[in-house]
Structure 1
Amino acid sequence: MKAVVIGGGIAGLLAARVLTESFDDVVVLERDKLSDEPEYRAGVPQGRHVHGLLVRGGEIMEGLFPGLRDELVRSGAHLMDAGEMRILNPLGWVASGRSGMPLLVVSRPLLETHIRRRVTAKIVDDAHVTGLTFRGSTVDGVLTRDGRIDADLVVDASGRSSKLPAWLAEAGIAVPEPEVVDSRTGYATRLYTAPPEIPVVVAESLSAPDTPRGGIVMRIEGDRVMVTAQGAGGDHPPRDPEGFQQFLDSLRGPIAGMLADAEPVTPVYLFARTASRRIAFEQVTGWPGGLVAIGDAVCVFNPVYGQGMTVAAMAALLFRRHSDFSAKGCRDFQRKVAKTAQGSWVLSSNADQSWAGVEKTPAPLMRAFRWYMKKWQVALVHDQDIFLRFLRVVHLVASPATLMNPVVFRRLAKYSRLDPRPGRRRAARSPR
C-alpha cells in the first residue's frame, strides 16, 4: 500500500510520520527545494514571523518523535512553563503562574527541519503536483511536472495555496465556497541580538475594537530575539525600519524599551495574508475514495492565535484510528478533520469578527459570547486560577466546556463590577 502526501510542511510531515505505521510506502512531495539546515522557504511565507506551538501540539510531536524537545533545546530552542509567559492584555498584565505545562519556544524553520530529519518517509523536493488521476470514483495517483505517481491514498497537506477545489472541479465534483473571516491583520517582523535580560516570551495582545496593535518578543536559536508587531483592522505595521520602530513605540507595553540594547540583524519582513478560511469538504457530494485533506488545505487560522500547527498535529493522529479510505471512509475522515478544527475555529473566528467592517449586526449568541469574553479579560488580570483555566483551553489541553461551570461563573462575577474598558495609558512594566 502506498500513500502520497502533497506538501512537506508541518501538516504533511506529521501525516507522513503516522502513515508509515500502516502503509508500506509513504512519499512526501514538496514544491520547494529543501535544505538540510534550518532556512526560510518560499512555501512558508509566514515562516519569518513568530510561530506559536501550543502545548497540545508539542505533546503530540514529542509522542511521535520521542526526544524531540531535548533535541530542539540543544539546538537553541527554549522550554518554559506555559503559565509563565508575560502577557499584557488590554486591561493589564495577566496573573501568570506555573501551570505544569511545558511550552516549546522555537522558530518555524528549526522545528520543521528537525521533524523532517526524523521522518522515515521518502521526501521528494522540487516536486510540482499539477493534478489528480482517477480510476472511476477513486483517486489513484497524482500528476507532477515529471509524470504520474500511483497511490492508494493521496493526502493534500499543501496548505493555504492548495489547488484541491480546482482539481475536484475538473473532475466534475463541486466544492462549497470557503467560509472566510478576515480581521485585516498584518505582521511585521525583525530579528535582533538578544540581551540577556530579555525574557523568553513577552506578548501584548490585540482586542477589538479599542486595541488594534500588539506585538510579541520571542527568544529563538542563535542568541536572537524575534520581534513581531501586529496590527488588526487594517492598522498594519510598516516595512521601513523607522516606521517599524515607531509602531513598537506606540504600544502600551515595554517591548520597545526592552530592545534598547538589542541590535537589529535583519530587515523588516511583512505578512498580511491572515484571513481565516475553512472549506467544508465533509459536505461534498461525490467525494472520491483514496483522497483526504488536512491542515491549512482545509482550515486556515489567523496566525495571531498560533493554532495551525497544533490542529494539524491533531488531524495527523486521525490516521491511527482510520483505515477505511473508500469514498465513504474518506468522507467520514473529512468529518473528523472538521470536528478536530471546530473548537479552534470558533474561538479565533468569533474574535476576528469583532473588528469593525468584518460583520454587520452580530447574532444574539455572538453578543453573549463577546460579553462573556469581556468578563474573562477582567478576570485574567486579577485571578491566577482563572488564567490557568483559560490557558489550558487556549493550548487545546482542555475543552472550552471546562470554562462553563459554576466555579468559574462565581469567580467571574467577583470581577464583573470592575471597569472592563481598556486602559488608555502606557502599561506598567511587567511585574516580573
Structure 2
Amino acid sequence: MDGGEGDAVVIGGGLAGMLVVRALLGHVRKVTVVERDRYPDGPAFRKGVPQARHLHILLTGGQEALEELLPGSGAELAAAGARRLDMPRDLLTCGLTGWQIRFHEGRHSLISCTRPLLDHVVRTRVLAAAAASGTAVEVVEATDAVGLLGGPDRVTGVRVRPRGAGRQERDMDADLVVDASGRASRTPQWLEALGRAAPAQESVDPGLQYASRVLRLPEPPGTGVYVQYRPDNPAAGGLLPLEDGTWILTVSGIGGLDVPTDEGGFAEFTSGLAHPYLHELLRGAEPLSPVIGFRDTSNRRRRYEAPGGVPEGLVVVGDAACSFNPVYGQGMTVAAVGALALRDALADGGPRAGLAARAQRAVARAADAAWLTAVGADRPYVDAGQSSAPGLGERFTSWYVERLVARAAVDPVVGSAFRDVVALTAPPSRMLAPAVALRTMLLRRRPALADPPLGPVPATRR
C-alpha cells in the first residue's frame, strides 16, 4: 500500500483511536498516536479505559465494520475465547411487556468478550497493518494532549505534555488531527481557546448507574440474559458469557436508583428485578473479581457535524463526539462504523480542503441510529432539569419507539426492522417502513411472554 501525503495526529490510542489509525493508512504519510497510558504486553486492564471492567459487546454493524477494516479479526477473537450470540435466539430478554420471543432469524449477532481482549486484538492487527503499509505509525505513550494548534479556521497540530514531573510541553504539527479521546474530550474548550465557538451539545441523562462483577456459574445457562428496567421498576441486570468459561454480571439502576458495590448489596440487587429468573441463575456463583461501579452514563452528543462545527484539519470521532448510555452496548460498534466512514471520506481526496466537514458528517451519520434508539428508550426516565428539553419531533420519536419495541418482542416483522437499526446495519428510516409503521401503530398491543421462553421459534411464526 502506498503512503499518502501529509501528517496526522490521533488523540487517544484506545479502540476508537486504533481504528482511526487503520482508516488513515495509505491516505497520509505518517500517523502519530498520542496515548496517555502505557500499553500492556497482552490483554490486560489499564487505567485509561475506566469502563473496561464492565460488559462489552460488538453488534452486527460493528462486526462488519471491523472485518472490513481488519479482515480476520472475528476469527481471531473467537479463537481467543470471545463468545458469539445470535440475536434474539441466544439472549433471553425481559422487556417492558414481558419476555421476548426467541425468533431464530440468523441475521444478527453480538460478540461478548472482555474489553482488554478486544483492544489487544485490534491494536495488534492495526500495528501489523501499519508495518505493511506505506504510512509510518508512531505511538507516543504516557503523554497527554493539552491543546490544539492553529486558529479559528484551521487546526495545524496538537500541543502535548509527557506525563511525569518536570516534563516539558512540545508541539506536534499535523495536516489532520483526529480526536478519539473519549468522553473526557477537551476539544470544546480547546476550540474556544482558538477563538472558535464550542459545538452545540445535547444531553439526555436518565440518572443511570451500574456495577459489574465476573463470575463462574455452577450451572451456566445456554443463553445470555437481560432483564430490562421499566417505569414501575428501575432495576436491570444482564448476564453474558466471556472467554475462559466465565460470565459477567452487570446490574444497573435508572432514575437515580442506587446500585450497591458492597458484597451483600450487590448480591441481593438482582432479587429486585422485574422477574426472578436472573437472580435464581446466580445461586452458588463464584465471584472472580471485585464489584466495580460506574456512574458517567449520560447520552451526550456534540454537534460537530453542524455547519461550521469543525475547522479545517480537525475531525472528532467515537465517544468524543457522541456517547451513549452504556447499558445498550452501542459505543464500540459506533466507533467501528465511524472509523469506516472516516476511511471512506478519506478515499475521496485524502486530507485536503473540505475533508473535516465531509468526514464529520459521515461520522455523525454512523451514530444516528444508536442515538435515536438510546434517547428514545431513556427519555421516560429523565429528570427535566438535568437534560436538554425534547422537541416535538423527539417526543413523537420516543412515543413511536416505545410502541415499536413492545411490538418487536412478539412480532417478527417489526422485530426484524428494530434489530436491523439497533445492530447498526440499517438507518433509522427502516423503522418507518410502511409495513413496520402500520403494524406498530394500528395493531392491538400484545403482551410479551410471562416467563422465559424455553427455546427458539422460526422467525416466520407470528
TM-score, normalising length: structure 2: 0.85
2:93 maps to 1:104: no
- The 2-side partners of 1:88 and 1:284 are apart by 42
Cα offset, 1:287, TM superposition: 4.0
Paired position in structure 2 for 1:262: 285
Paired position in structure 1 for 2:101: 95
Q: Is the 8 A contact 1:292 1:334 kept in 2?
A: yes
Q: Would the alpha carbon gap of residues 361 and 23 (structure 1) be closer, same or farther in structure 2, given more than 3 Å must change?
A: closer
Q: Is the 8 A contact 1:81 1:103 kept in 2?
A: yes
- The 2-side partners of 1:347 and 1:57 are apart by 16
- The 2-side partners of 1:361 and 1:297 are apart by 22
Q: Is the 8 A contact 1:154 1:292 kept in 2?
A: yes
Paired position in structure 2 for 1:181: 204
- The 2-side partners of 1:362 and 1:3 are apart by 38
Cα offset, 1:15, TM superposition: 0.6
Q: Which residue, 9, 17, 20 being the options, matches 2:14?
A: 9
2:263 maps to 1:241: yes
Paired position in structure 2 for 1:161: 184
Paired position in structure 2 for 1:39: 44
Instruction: Structure 2: give runs of 5+ residues left out of the alignment.
Output: 1-5, 128-136, 163-169, 456-462
Paired position in structure 2 for 1:115: 122
Paired position in structure 1 for 2:142: 126
Cα offset, 1:285, TM superposition: 4.3
Q: Which residue, 230, 233, 237 being the options, matches 2:252?
A: 230
Report Cα offsets for 1:153-191 as digits up to 9, x if no partner.
111111111111121111111113522110000011111
Q: Write the mapping of 1:365-384 to structure 2, written as runs, cut at 5 A.
A: 365-384=393-412
Q: Is the 8 A contact 1:175 1:284 kept in 2?
A: no
SS of aligned partner of 1:46: coil
Paired position in structure 2 for 1:354: 380
Cα offset, 1:149, TM superposition: 2.2
Report Cα offsets for 1:45-88 as digits up to 9, x if no partner.
11111122111001110121111111111111112322322111
Residues 185-194 or 282-291, more deviating: 282-291
Q: Is the 8 A contact 1:289 1:325 kept in 2?
A: no
Q: Is the 8 A contact 1:96 1:384 kept in 2?
A: no
2:175 maps to 1:152: yes
Paired position in structure 1 for 2:31: 26
SS of aligned partner of 2:248: strand
Report Cα offsets for 1:391-421 as digits up to 9, x if no partner.
111101122222223322454467525469x
Cα offset, 1:343, TM superposition: 2.7
Q: Write the mapping of 1:323-402 to structure 2, written as runs, cut at 5 A.
A: 323=349, 325-326=351-352, 328-358=354-384, 364-402=392-430
Residues 192-201 or 109-118, more deviating: 192-201
- The 2-side partners of 1:288 and 1:137 are apart by 5
Cα offset, 1:284, TM superposition: 6.6
Cα offset, 1:217, TM superposition: 0.3
Paired position in structure 2 for 1:293: 316
- The 2-side partners of 1:399 and 1:172 are apart by 36
Q: Would the alpha carbon gap of residues 190 and 400 (structure 1) be closer, same or farther in structure 2, given more than 3 Å must change?
A: same
Q: Is the 8 A contact 2:154 2:313 kept in 1?
A: yes
Residues 128-137 or 102-111, more deviating: 128-137
Q: Is the 8 A contact 2:146 2:161 kept in 1?
A: yes
- The 2-side partners of 1:408 and 1:177 are apart by 33
Q: Is the 8 A contact 2:379 2:398 kept in 1?
A: no
The number of residues matched between the two structures is 426
SS of aligned partner of 1:282: coil
Cα offset, 1:361, TM superposition: 8.5
Residues 209-218 or 3-12, more deviating: 209-218
Cα offset, 1:326, TM superposition: 4.8
Q: Is the 8 A contact 1:173 1:286 kept in 2?
A: no
SS of aligned partner of 1:47: coil
Instruction: Structure 1: give runs of 5+ residues left out of the alignment.
Output: none
2:221 counterpart letter in structure 1 = I
Paired position in structure 1 for 2:433: 405
- The 1-side partners of 2:437 and 2:359 are apart by 36
Q: Is the 8 A contact 1:90 1:211 kept in 2?
A: no
1:22 counterpart letter in structure 2 = H
- The 1-side partners of 2:445 and 2:99 are apart by 19
TM-score, normalising length: structure 1: 0.91
Q: Which residue, 65, 71, 77 being the options, matches 2:70?
A: 65
- The 2-side partners of 1:414 and 1:284 are apart by 39
Q: Would the alpha carbon gap of residues 417 and 69 (structure 1) be closer, same or farther in structure 2, given more than 3 Å must change?
A: closer
2:369 counterpart letter in structure 1 = G
Report Cα offsets for 1:211-267 as digits up to 9, x if no partner.
321111011112211000011101131111111122111113311211113201111
Paired position in structure 1 for 2:444: 416
2:243 maps to 1:216: no
Residues 382-391 or 365-374, more deviating: 365-374
1:212 counterpart letter in structure 2 = P
Q: Would the alpha carbon gap of residues 170 and 222 (structure 1) be closer, same or farther in structure 2, given more than 3 Å must change?
A: same
- The 2-side partners of 1:41 and 1:76 are apart by 20
SS of aligned partner of 1:190: strand
Paired position in structure 1 for 2:165: none
Q: Which residue, 304, 308, 311 being the options, matches 2:331?
A: 308
SS of aligned partner of 1:389: helix
Q: Is the 8 A contact 1:141 1:149 kept in 2?
A: yes
